[in-house]
Chain A
Amino acid sequence: MAFFDVFKRTHAEPSAEGAAFDRGLLVFENTSEVIRAERVLKAKGWEIRVMGPPPEIRSGCDLVIEIPLIEELNILRSLQEAGVLPKEVVPVTSPLLKPVDLFKVKELGRYLMVRAANMKLTVDKETLTIVNVSGGGCPDVPYLAQEMVGRGLADAPSPREIGHTLCGYALQLAYEEMRKQCTL
């Protein structure tokens, strides 16, 4: 059967298939925070909706906000400015998934590279200058590289400040780990 599948043309349709896969849920301490966050995000023009949580994360008569997951970093920044951060962000399709928390640290001569998920940050150990950013696939990765490479680790803008996506978030984790490695 698999042999014939090779020759079968896959025909895409502009359906809602997979639509939930790029969505995430903001989980808050209580419903009043949900209402405040909803107001903030709608005022900023985000496509969101308030809904009941899936069974895996249900704790009572609570509500969650569905968001475009990829843009998590940008959304969290808006909520932080409004003082209403969620206690958790989870993918709609698998609410028990957790962000990557494994780092790979690699010595490359006078340089040190830290990888978190799909993002890598490399620093000159002698000058503590960021010399490269690699990996990732969201459009803020080239932007973050442009803004960070050539700057000192201590004074470069952090991905949390200027990034917008989950790739930016992964780079933030690499950046925090690099600062620990360099004892900043």
Chain B
Amino acid sequence: MHAVVGTVPIKDFPLVAGEASLHDDIICIQGERITINRGTPALMAATIKAGEFLGQPAPHGYLVGDIGLGDGSRHLCEYLIEHLGESDFHMITLHYILPNVEYHNRLLFVMEEMPERPILIADAGSMYAAKMSGKATAYDLFTPDTGELAFLADEEAPHPFYTRGFILHEENRVPELIARSYAHKNASRNLLVKGERDYVANQNGILATIDHPMEEAMEAIGGTGDTLTGIVSALISTGMEISEAAAIAARANRLAGHYAKPTAATQVIEIVSHIPQALEDIFCEKNRGEGWQRTSQRRSATSPLK
């Protein structure tokens, strides 16, 4: 079973824990309804839509209200520290939680002590906390964008806001930043870097690059990184090897965006509905021995829709 952990931008939204379901543009957990805009609800929606295609059950969601004050995040962490050890999740995706080293370390300890160590994926504030605490290598996958990659690569920076100028993100420096992140042990075992070109990497180097279809507007659309993390979580949940899942997810997210015919004003919910079609097309292509093979040979993947 897969768990997704995060927050929603609603003050006083109660802590809910249970199976998540998707109804049009609404996520439901324990009778509470949340509109999908961006953030963890968008991640959950993408996981559910991808899971529908993959035949996977919906994830178990842990959500709480937090508008940035950190009260909800602390409440959620306390709850998880107390209860997560009783669960049997095989994978946990940690998302929008206010970074706090002490809570992070306590929560990681609980997850490491579970009878079966779950696969750990972190994005957003949870990824920041993992790097800040020096525990990045305990995670199986981070999904940074290029700005966040620069933060991982800067061993001094406590937050992307303080990334030093000489390291600061430039698309053409991504391979160098990946290597630097691993050199300072600030990267997870696998990385999926999202940007104009997406990169799948581990400590041995870059395994795949994915750059088609290219929709420039995607960078401006809030939540497209969340949907990517949601899709890769669903794929890994099937038992797929992480680097393979990351490359497929990167292509699926691009293709879903492409099908939405996006502008910079598009909202992420318009992309979520295209995820099953995107995955179907990629798996058809893979079954025909096209496209996907090129990715695993460390060359840029080419979409059939190019």
A interface, CB within 8 angstroms of B: 2, 6, 9-19, 21-22, 24, 68-71, 74, 91-94, 97-102, 106, 108-109, 111, 113, 115, 117-118, 120, 122, 124, 131-146, 149, 163-170
B residues near A165, Cβ cutoff 8 Å: 68, 98
B residues near A19, Cβ cutoff 8 Å: 101-102
A residues near B40, Cβ cutoff 8 Å: 142
A residues near B159, Cβ cutoff 8 Å: 69-70, 91, 166-167
- The smallest C-beta distance from B22 to any residue of chain A, in angstroms, reads 18
Contact with A along B144-165 (1 / 0, CB 8 A): 0101100100001111111111
A residues near B98, Cβ cutoff 8 Å: 70-71, 138-139, 165
B residues near A101, Cβ cutoff 8 Å: 165
Can you list the 7 inter-chain pairs with the closest CB atoms, starting with the nearest? A140-B68, A164-B68, A137-B124, A143-B9, A142-B39, A111-B264, A118-B160
Q: List 24 A-B contacts (CB under 8 A).
A: A9-B117, A14-B108, A18-B135, A70-B98, A92-B158, A94-B157, A100-B168, A108-B220, A111-B217, A111-B263, A113-B264, A118-B145, A118-B151, A118-B161, A135-B225, A137-B99, A139-B7, A139-B39, A139-B96, A141-B39, A142-B7, A142-B96, A164-B67, A166-B162
B residues near A143, Cβ cutoff 8 Å: 9, 67-68
Does A134 contact B224, Cβ atoms closer than 8 Å?
yes
Question: What CA separation (Å) do A12 and B100 show in the bound complex?
Answer: 15
- The smallest C-beta distance from B237 to any residue of chain A, in angstroms, reads 22
Contact with A along B108-144 (1 / 0, CB 8 A): 1101100001000001111111001111011000000
- The smallest C-beta distance from B172 to any residue of chain A, in angstroms, reads 14
Closest residue of chain B to A121, judged by CB?
B220
Q: Which of B37, B68, B148, B216 contacts A168 (CB 8 A)?
A: B68
Closest residue of chain A to B224, judged by CB?
A134
Known: A15-B105, A124-B265. A10 touches B138 (CB 8 A): yes
B residues near A145, Cβ cutoff 8 Å: 9, 37-38, 222
Question: What CA separation (Å) do A77 and B102 show in the bound complex?
Answer: 25
Does A70 contact B38, Cβ atoms closer than 8 Å?
no
Question: What CA separation (Å) do A165 and B99 show in the bound complex?
Answer: 10
A residues near B219, Cβ cutoff 8 Å: 106, 113, 120, 134
Does A17 contact B134, Cβ atoms closer than 8 Å?
yes
Identify which of residues 190-222 in chain B touch chain A, using a CB-to-CB cut-off of 8 Å.
203, 216-217, 219-222
Known: A120-B219, A164-B67. A139 touches B160 (CB 8 A): no
Closest residue of chain B to A24, judged by CB?
B158
Closest residue of chain A to B11, judged by CB?
A143
B residues near A117, Cβ cutoff 8 Å: 147, 160-161, 163
Question: What CA separation (Å) do A22 and B126 show in the bound complex?
Answer: 13
Q: What is the total number of residues of chain B having a CB less than 8 Å from a CB of chain A?
A: 72
Known: A12-B138, A71-B70. A102 touches B9 (CB 8 A): no
Does A21 contact B158, Cβ atoms closer than 8 Å?
yes
Q: Which of A68, A93, A132 contacts B222 (CB 8 A)?
A: A132
Q: Does B97 touch A at the CB level, under 8 Å?
A: yes
Q: Does B273 touch A at the CB level, under 8 Å?
A: no
Question: What CA separation (Å) do A15 and B112 show in the bound complex?
Answer: 14
B residues near A24, Cβ cutoff 8 Å: 158
Does A13 contact B105, Cβ atoms closer than 8 Å?
yes
B residues near A98, Cβ cutoff 8 Å: 162
- The smallest C-beta distance from A22 to any residue of chain B, in angstroms, reads 5
Apart from A14-B102, A135-B225, A139-B67: 7 A-B pairs, beta carbons within 8 A: A12-B108, A97-B157, A108-B264, A118-B145, A137-B160, A138-B98, A143-B9
Does B96 contact A141, Cβ atoms closer than 8 Å?
yes
Does A18 contact B134, Cβ atoms closer than 8 Å?
yes
Does B69 contact A11, Cβ atoms closer than 8 Å?
no
Does A18 contact B105, Cβ atoms closer than 8 Å?
yes
